[in-house]
Structure 1
Amino acid sequence: MTHHTIYCRLGSEANSLPLPIMAGTVLSDINFIDIAGELNFGLEMTLAQLDKMGLTPTEVAIDLVVLATALTAADTRISRAENSQDRWTREIDIFIPVSDTALWRTQQQRLGHMLRFLTGDHWRIFFRERPAAYRKLARQSEHLKTTSPTSVCLFSGGLDSFIGAVDLLCEGQSPLLVSHRWDTLTASRQNECIAELSTRFPGLVVGNHMTGRVGFDHETVTSSTTEDTLRGRSFLFFSLAALAASAIGEDITIHVPENGLISLNVPLDPSRLGALSTRTTHPFYMSRFNELLQGLGIKATLHNRYRHITKGQMVEQCKDMSFLRMHASKTMSCSGPAKYRFHPDQTMRKIQHCGHCVPCLIRRASLLRGFGQDEDETPYTLQGLRTRVLDSSKPEGEHIRAFQLALARLNAVPERAKRDIHVPGPLSDHSGELAAYERVYVDGLHEVGVLLAGVQAKALA
């Protein structure tokens, strides 16, 4: 076990480094101000986009995004395998400068608990005042206000977020779409989808898009290699949305378009509960984040209007089905579209949907339900699921077999669904919605079951 401490500074802050609380901790000193005196790691670019729209965020919202950026540095640059006893749980302290230490300290315990739930790690967050030179980081915009958003909507470039944007725009809303990108593939898919939305909804999308590009080089954190589980990514995504919402300046709904099956993310088998089960939009975590926003005085609320329906039902109920049919293939759902780039078979070295990971299978099932047989135009590396027996000991068949076993268990004991929906996390904030969550879990599994009918996956010698 290696304990890590991330010390975040704004400028020089001479002689302000604290004594590490944990003996033997690995200290990483990260300056959030670049050589031009501006916020580093892509944050200045994000603020500049709001400034250009004539929008000015609050200082507390900027604090939140700086904290989220520091968490992202820790989450993506501290290897679980190298720094934990169980190859999963890390211990991380973060020291962060903020605009109001008294306010932030009221949220200290809540932050520790919600991050523990989200990432599976032990976090401690410590706050101190910003240095005098950076007491104000928000630039009062002098640009003419060019947009009057009615809401904020997360826009990842995936199928769910595309449907979410289409539905809001068809309702006559004017959402400010908020994206985050780091790799070029994500950027290109988001740009392509935004271009199509701008053509279909002229005037409602152009200028109503804020993109964060927060990332770090491999040397940002001391003595560790990178980590690709990325369990904390939604904290950054939600924080960017809260930044935009604070700049709009009124009570704002932040739409989080995510189908109910993925949002609950009930593990397909007991071994998937930790390392293989994300909680990025779980109802319990979203409730805690809403409490954090309320505690910080940020007038915004996360809301997932699709939490009770499957991805296939989202497709079926899309408010512009013809537009979705034309452009669904441009969206990206795969958990690892670059996983085949070094494959021995050069014909498989394509950066695209793999076709066999959990998000790909749910996507394929949803488009089968919504569009019908042979109407999914998405290129998949594993295009045909029934052309041969798939090896469940390899990635090509691992998740397919896991779905099949989960379906077999559910069909054998249907009443287990009442218990299964509580496995990933508490639903105590939503006691009146338990029947709806149970229904979407069962419907979601059976939706994938239709896709996998006749598919064979087993361990091959």
Structure 2
Amino acid sequence: MKIEVKDKNSSTTLELTSGKNLYNGLNAFKGHFKDATSLEVDLLNVSSGIFAADLAVKRSELEDYIRTIELNIEVVNIHAFERIKDLLEEALFVLSSDNWTLKFIQIAGKPEESKAWESKKGTVLLFSGGLDSLSGVVHFKKQNSEIALVSHINQNRAVKQSQEGVLKLLNDFYGTNLNYYPFRVFGRNQSGFPFPSDSNRENTQRTRSFLFLTLAALTARKLGFREIISIAENGQFAIHLPLNPARVGPFSTHTANPKFVWLARDIFQRLLSMDNLKIENPFLYKTKAEVVSILDAKIAQNANKSISCWKASRVSDKNHCGECIPCISRRISLEFNNVYLDEYSRDLLTERISKLPFDDNGKRNLVDFLEFISKFKGYKDKDLNSLLIQFPELYNEAIDKKEAVRMYGRLATQSYSVFDKYPEVKKII
């Protein structure tokens, strides 16, 4: 199977070939489930190809951050993919803010035959090795739900180690082996089959969510879990209002955007003949601190096995830089719950922040975060309309505006409670 990737902005073309410069996860899929239909192979190729194209086409800076990417994708089940083409292009736009054009090309093979798929209760959970997915497992275990964990593994060793560490923590805590389905999917440079080097790749990985949900949907199909696929992501990062206008574009991710989740559900329902499939986020209107509060004390004290940092593997062996927005949010969520972990390369909150240069990355992130939460300080429902004017992103049919803004109001309260313990932070509030 081949995928032609055209970067319309730079007029360059890259050819991806499964088993060569595209590792599509099929070997792992067959290892888990023994076989794969032609439609399942097609979907693995499509989702891994989109993810690899996202990595291969590097963004320009500032106002030129929007990319125009055209993919020509070979598939056996062309009619199935033509039916969801428009939905998929829209979902990719929501995820990445880029212009995607998909063209499916018929290749030889036997299309998947119609079949009545098994249907039973159970939850497939996206297991990233992060704090939210750790809480997601605990959440569903407390509901006595049968669960299966699906991980996407790329070439980031730190993330792989965090997934393994969190899984062992959970298995030890519950005294059982959770059902775990890891998949290795990435683009790579192989002799005669080029792929951009790390320094020439796009590092935002915004379409990883579609790949991740594809792996979860296919796993649910094979296991017979039809009712729920869960994407556990706290509301701060699922709704992900931009901290300020400068972050609306290149700095604003939409990995668990509720509208994307809706579109993904429709795509997999139609494509995989799973009419009653649901994709739900149990943490959509919870702050990260509220998500952490679900954890039992023993698990919370070992939360350093999870990773939240954007720079994981590029900092010290602590795997958290301490200065990016995810690190700041993680620290607030843990310390609000009286969990103090020595896991940050930089102890930003104790530094003399007011004396740092304006362009210091940690200072800039913290100031932006403080300015953002100040807008929700003391929130009352009567303030909703004025906040909607400031954040038009809330005009989203998949979001309950009132619940979302209440969640951000609680975030502000929780954050100020933590910052009150740090005199240097209080000086700049």
Q: Specify whether residues 30 and 75 from structure 1 end up closer, same or farther in structure 2 by C-alpha distance, changes over 3 A only.
A: same
Does structure 2 retain, via aligned residues, the 8 Å contact 1:62–1:243?
Answer: no
Q: Which runs of 5+ in 1 are unaligned?
A: 1-7, 11-16, 139-147, 341-348
1:172 & 1:359 partners in 2: Cα distance? 30
Find the partner of 1:359 among 322, 326, 330. 326
2:144 & 2:9 partners in 1: Cα distance? 57
Find the partner of 2:232 among 228, 238, 257. 257
Q: CA shift at 1:40, angstroms?
A: 5.2
| Percent identical | 23
1:282 & 1:214 partners in 2: Cα distance? 22
- Aligned twin of 2:168: 195
- Aligned twin of 1:248: 223
- Aligned twin of 2:392: 423
- Superposed CA deviations along residues 205-254 of structure 1, whole A, max 9, x for unmatched, are 1xx111121111253269x9211122211111111111111212352311
Find the partner of 2:410 among 439, 443, 458. 443
**Matching of residue 333 in structure 1 with residue 333 in structure 2:** no
SS of the residue aligned with 2:86? helix
Q: CA shift at 1:87, angstroms?
A: 3.1
Find the partner of 2:14 among 25, 28, 35. 28
Does structure 2 retain, via aligned residues, the 8 Å contact 1:181–1:212?
Answer: yes
- Aligned twin of 2:2: 9
Aligned residue type for 1:376: Y
Q: CA shift at 1:57, angstroms?
A: 5.3
TM-score, length-normalised on structure 1?
0.80
Within-5 A mapping of 1:52-451: 58-81=37-60, 86-132=63-109, 135=110, 150-182=122-154, 183-205=156-178, 208-217=179-188, 219-220=194-195, 225-299=200-274, 300-318=277-295, 321-340=296-315, 349-350=316-317, 352-370=319-337, 372=338, 375-383=339-347, 385-389=349-353, 391=356, 392-411=358-377, 415=383, 418-419=387-388, 423-424=392-393, 426-430=395-399, 433-451=400-418
Q: Which runs of 5+ in 2 are unaligned?
A: 114-119
Q: Specify whether residues 237 and 22 from structure 1 end up closer, same or farther in structure 2 by C-alpha distance, changes over 3 A only.
A: closer
Aligned residue type for 2:213: F
- Aligned twin of 2:117: none
- Aligned twin of 1:4: none
Q: Specify whether residues 350 and 192 from structure 1 end up closer, same or farther in structure 2 by C-alpha distance, changes over 3 A only.
A: closer
Q: CA shift at 1:188, angstroms?
A: 0.7
SS of the residue aligned with 1:362? helix
SS of the residue aligned with 1:198? helix
SS of the residue aligned with 1:157? coil
SS of the residue aligned with 2:187? coil
1:338 & 1:204 partners in 2: Cα distance? 27
2:92 & 2:256 partners in 1: Cα distance? 13
1:89 & 1:330 partners in 2: Cα distance? 35
Does structure 2 retain, via aligned residues, the 8 Å contact 1:57–1:243?
Answer: no
Q: CA shift at 1:128, angstroms?
A: 2.1
Q: Specify whether residues 457 and 121 from structure 1 end up closer, same or farther in structure 2 by C-alpha distance, changes over 3 A only.
A: farther
1:405 & 1:250 partners in 2: Cα distance? 43
SS of the residue aligned with 2:236? helix
Q: Specify whether residues 21 and 394 from structure 1 end up closer, same or farther in structure 2 by C-alpha distance, changes over 3 A only.
A: closer
- Aligned twin of 2:116: none
Larger mean CA deviation between 438-447 and 354-363 belongs to 438-447
Q: CA shift at 1:33, angstroms?
A: 4.2
Say how many residue pairs are matched.
409
Does structure 1 retain, via aligned residues, the 8 Å contact 2:121–2:225?
Answer: no
Aligned residue type for 2:396: L
Larger mean CA deviation between 233-242 and 413-422 belongs to 413-422
